[in-house]
Structure 1
Amino acid sequence: MIKNTLLPVAEFCQRRNNFIAQMPENSIALITASKEVTRSNDTEYPFCQNKNFYYLTGFNEPDAVLAMIKGDTSKPAQSILFSREKDSLQEVWHGRRVGQVKAIENYHVDQCFSLVEIEDQLLPLMVGKTSVLICLQEKNEFEQQVLAWLSQIRKSARMGVKAPSSLVDCSDIIAEMRLHKSTAELDIMRQVNLISGAAHQRAMQQAQAGKFEYQIEAELLHEFATNGARYPAYGSIVAGGDNANILHYTDNDDKLNNNDLLLIDAGGELAGYAADITRTFPINGRFNDAQKTIYQLVLDSQNLAINAIKPTQTFAGLNRIVCNFLTKGLYDLGILTGDLSVLLAQKACKKYFIHGLGHWLGLDVHDVGDYQPNEQREQLRPFAQGMVLTIEPGIYIPLSDRSVDEKWRGIGIRIEDNIAVTATGFENLTVNAPKTIVDIEAVMAK
């Protein structure tokens, strides 16, 4: 299943060109890499690159800074990287560094300087520019550094040096670019979905009463890493029984019980791109009647939503479809009571469907991109070819809910697939994670 998953360097170059084309004339953009984060004493968490920085460079070392300079029409734009210098002692202890020469060769930036040179090289590039673009919400520490550099430049104003007059947030420019996936990006997202779907199959086959949730989590991580997705895209949710009614349950330390369901929300990360898949299945391999009824209701609502995806559709439109269907279904089961027309108008299913229907997906699990909400928080952004999103309806009936028949209590079900919008409809990227009752029970019987 392992394939070459590296994006071509030309794609990163094109992204920088596209970004620069949207910069104001005579401006400079500064995009920063992540820093290493200490886990304990002198050890660090596994490094995770800043996604905006990675999107524009493909460079995966900490502390780096990308500068993109756009002059007037007479001057060519430039991309300049500042990164850690080669250091044989540090490399013996902590691993090889790309260095400045290889950075130019491998990442096709115009120039690369070491971080120790950043003030000497960068400040002259900022002089005379009208504006500096940074991602304001990402790194307050870097924002303070940029403000200090601007102050330093202003101190030379008496000598005719002109500092940029404005600091501009460029996050929305990158977010809009990231929202529309290229052919190469979609190929990686297909691969990470295949890897993650295989992990969900493995979890189904390994689950049994008496095991602990963390043991099933270990099976997921094994399948991810074996097939090239070394890290999960987010903390895996492995929630048995009533734990499924905790939306972001990540303790994963309970024992699995016979006759309970197991909800798993887990996806691998491949070349920076995330899968986000949820499956719910019976720990003993067979749905009981109550579980089967609620499960089929959720699955049918998901299929309705997915089949309605096409360009110009919206999350708001899909939510109306799903809320009407779930409200009617819960009413028919006696879980919701009252006047059906009133229940539909009130979206009464939200008592049990307590989260959103989906979100953008890409380099981040909850990926960047404007949903264009209105005052009622309806998400009106029309879908377009190349967008990738999740569809994840769910029904959650905690054990503590005494308003429903005892047979429904403790059932928590979510089903989540990853969907790419095509020119005429959709492509379901989540193709090998079983989700029909027949398929789940067949896989678990093996």
Structure 2
Amino acid sequence: MNLANEPAVAGLAPAATDIHAGRRARLLDHLARTGGVAILPTAPSAIRNHDAEYPYRHDSSFYYLSGFPEPEAWLVLDGTNGETTLFCREKNVEREIWEGFHYGPDAAREQFGFSSAYSIAELDLRMPDILAHAASVHYALGTSAELDARVRTWLDGVRTRSRVGIAAPAIAHDVRVFVDEMRLFKDDHELDIMRRAARISAAAHRRAMQASRAGVREYELEAELLYEFRRQGAQSPAYGSIVASGANACVLHYPAGNAIARDGDLILIDAACELDGYASDITRTFPANGRFTGAQRELYAIVHAAQQAAIDATRPGASYDAPHEAAVRVLAQGMLDTQLLDRNEHGGLDDVVEKKTYRRFYMHSTSHWIGMDVHDVGDYFEPLDAAPRGDTPRARRTLAPRMALTIEPGIYVRASDDVPEAFHHIGIRIEDDAVVTDSGCELLTRDVPVDIDAIEYLMKR
């Protein structure tokens, strides 16, 4: 079948078949060591209300291994014989009149390089045969009662044949342990998409900055962001956009509302796009009228310096916690210098850090993994096979090249009698996406300004 003229599905770029096949081969090698079978369903469609569905978004690990973008699909990898099987919707020309192009099993097998593909209607019939004589089964244990029940039903189907010499898997493993570790380290294909997503998101932030003015509503700036995401080809936001003016910026996950930015307010925007299945994540804070006040400059400079300290600490061989620890020391010192924290009450820098009293104004972590999911998978501790046994706690993860993470310190000052009034209702966060390199890190999102003077210059234009 010639698919050269078939449309892309769900707005995604055409799948890179060899890349996904290579990932499947790595998982098959792992499964072959234990004679295991891995089962990965994609995400289900979800009803928004009545008969209208939410825009469909695939399961990340399923797509990572398959490249297949449609709902109602399962991927099965058999480590006993190296076979890869897709179950998907049947080709249905009449349904395509309403929903658009569907691959169907035959085209899916050819286009995506599976050993075999069958109708989703055959899943329950064929799975007991695939699981027969496998030593272990690998799937996302405990994530869904429906999935657990489905697998148990298939295993029961194998066990009923034990008298005729067919053995059922005796061990169940969580497939996420291996797949999440694969996803933690980004390949060149992934980094290319993430860089493009970062450029689009940065352009959207620049657009919002230039559209800002006293009197603008938060949702108007959100509209500028969404327009730029789609105008440049991103399929959707990577998460719900945060556009927070004035005191709203002190609410960490504040959704863009209808509040009006007043003259003298800061606006915090935490928003970014998803492109071809990969997220970006940017936060910038800027003055609605284009000019920082003295108090805003003072706190912004502290957060900016904290981010730079965290960036400098993001390098191979460092602990995952190193960027956070570096940022915290700068932020805590700034809180003491500005009298957000009283030295007589809280002591010096080491006291503030040790007792975590800085958390009144900085209550979140500095980083999280980023990739296919905005809060991406990957263990934040060293893998179990590298961890000491016994009562010794697992060490935090050591950063290594091709890991991708955010760097996002902040300060959030709510009105209170015991802090200087000039700082009331100021919330500031600066966030960039970084990829660990051989010697440090690469910032993907610096196409949008971060320096005070550069922000003011852009907004003046």
Q: TM-score if structure 2 supplies the norm length?
A: 0.92
String of CA shifts for 1:158-209, please: whole Å, max 9, x gaps.
3333222222211110110000000111111110000000000000011122
Pairwise CA distance, 1:424: 1.3
2:8 counterpart residue number: none
Structure 1: where are the runs of 5+ without partners? none
1:424 counterpart residue number: 439
Cα distance in structure 2, aligned partners of 1:11 and 1:53 = 14
Pairwise CA distance, 1:90: 1.4
- Which stretch of the first structure deviates more once superposed, 161-170 or 201-210? 161-170
1:391 counterpart residue number: 407
The secondary structure found in structure 2 opposite 1:168 is strand
- Which stretch of the first structure deviates more once superposed, 168-177 or 374-383? 374-383
Q: TM-score if structure 1 supplies the norm length?
A: 0.95
The share of aligned pairs that are identical, in percent, is: 39
- Which stretch of the first structure deviates more once superposed, 319-328 or 79-88? 319-328
The amino acid that maps onto 2:448 is A
Pairwise CA distance, 1:137: 4.2
2:427 counterpart residue number: 412
1:347 counterpart residue number: 356
The amino acid that maps onto 1:68 is L
Distance change in 2, residues 1:6/1:330 (3 Å): farther
Cα distance in structure 1, aligned partners of 2:161 and 2:15 = 43
1:94 counterpart residue number: 99
Cα distance in structure 2, aligned partners of 1:385 and 1:142 = 35
String of CA shifts for 1:105-130, please: whole Å, max 9, x gaps.
21101110011122332221111111
The secondary structure found in structure 1 opposite 2:77 is strand
String of CA shifts for 1:374-406, please: whole Å, max 9, x gaps.
99999721110000000000000013x221011
After superposition, residues 224-373 of structure 1 pair within 5 angstroms as: 224-338=229-343, 339-340=347-348, 341-372=350-381
The amino acid that maps onto 2:352 is L
Cα distance in structure 2, aligned partners of 1:411 and 1:226 = 32
Cα distance in structure 1, aligned partners of 2:132 and 2:159 = 9
- Alignment pair present for 1:49 and 2:58: yes
Instruction: Indicate if the aligned counterparts of 1:315 and 1:357 stay in contact, CA closer than 8 A.
Output: no
Structure 2: where are the runs of 5+ without partners? 1-11
Instruction: Indicate if the aligned counterparts of 1:181 and 1:387 stay in contact, CA closer than 8 A.
Output: yes
Instruction: Indicate if the aligned counterparts of 1:316 and 1:379 stay in contact, CA closer than 8 A.
Output: no
Cα distance in structure 2, aligned partners of 1:179 and 1:7 = 20
Pairwise CA distance, 1:251: 4.6
Instruction: Indicate if the aligned counterparts of 1:6 and 1:271 stay in contact, CA closer than 8 A.
Output: no
- Alignment pair present for 1:151 and 2:160: no
Instruction: Indicate if the aligned counterparts of 2:434 and 2:441 stay in contact, CA closer than 8 A.
Output: yes
Distance change in 2, residues 1:362/1:376 (3 Å): farther
Cα distance in structure 1, aligned partners of 2:77 and 2:44 = 20
- Alignment pair present for 1:21 and 2:21: no
Cα distance in structure 2, aligned partners of 1:349 and 1:420 = 28
Instruction: Indicate if the aligned counterparts of 1:327 and 1:347 stay in contact, CA closer than 8 A.
Output: no
The amino acid that maps onto 1:34 is A
Pairwise CA distance, 1:315: 2.8
The secondary structure found in structure 1 opposite 2:316 is coil
Cα distance in structure 2, aligned partners of 1:247 and 1:148 = 43
The amino acid that maps onto 1:281 is F
- Alignment pair present for 1:443 and 2:458: yes
- Alignment pair present for 1:66 and 2:75: yes
Pairwise CA distance, 1:319: 2.1
Instruction: Indicate if the aligned counterparts of 2:235 and 2:276 stay in contact, CA closer than 8 A.
Output: no
Cα distance in structure 2, aligned partners of 1:5 and 1:205 = 30
- Which stretch of the first structure deviates more once superposed, 32-41 or 253-262? 253-262
